[in-house]
Amino acid sequence: MNIQAMMKQAQKLQNDMMKAKEEIDKMEFSSTNGLVTVKINGKKEVIDVVIEKDADFSLDDLEMLQDMIRIATNEAMEQVDKVTEDKMGRFSSMPGLF
C-alpha cells in the first residue's frame, strides 16, 4: 500500500471518528432514581434535574435527596460511557493508529 492510500485511509478514519463523537455529543441520556431524574448530554454535561412534584421532602430528607441526585447522575454518565465505548471502541482496535 502506498503512502497516499494510507493517508487517505487515515483521513477517512479520522472523519469517521469525528462523526461518531459528534453523534454521541448530541445524544441525551437520563436516569431515574426514586423521585429524581437526571438528564445529561454526550459531553457529560447535566442538562436537567427533575424532582417529582409529589415528593414531600423535609430538611431531614435532604441527605437522601442529594444521594438520589448523585446516583442518578452517575448512572446517566455510565450510559454515556457505554455508548461511547460501543461507537468509538472499534477505532481503538486498529493496529498502528496510535
Would you kindly state where each structural domain of the chain is located, as residue ranges?
Answer: 3-88
- What pLDDT shows up at residue 26? 93
Residue pLDDT, tens place only, 33-87: 878 899 999 999 999 998 887 767 676 777 888 888 889 999 999 999 999 888 8
| H-assigned helices in the chain | 3-26, 62-92
Domain 3-88 coded CATH 3.30.1310.10: yes
- What pLDDT shows up at residue 95? 57
Which three cell numbers mark 72?
442518578
CA distance 20 to 44: 16
Residue pLDDT, tens place only, 2-32: 888 888 888 988 899 899 999 999 999 999 8
At residue 55, φ and ψ (nearest 5 deg) are -65, 130
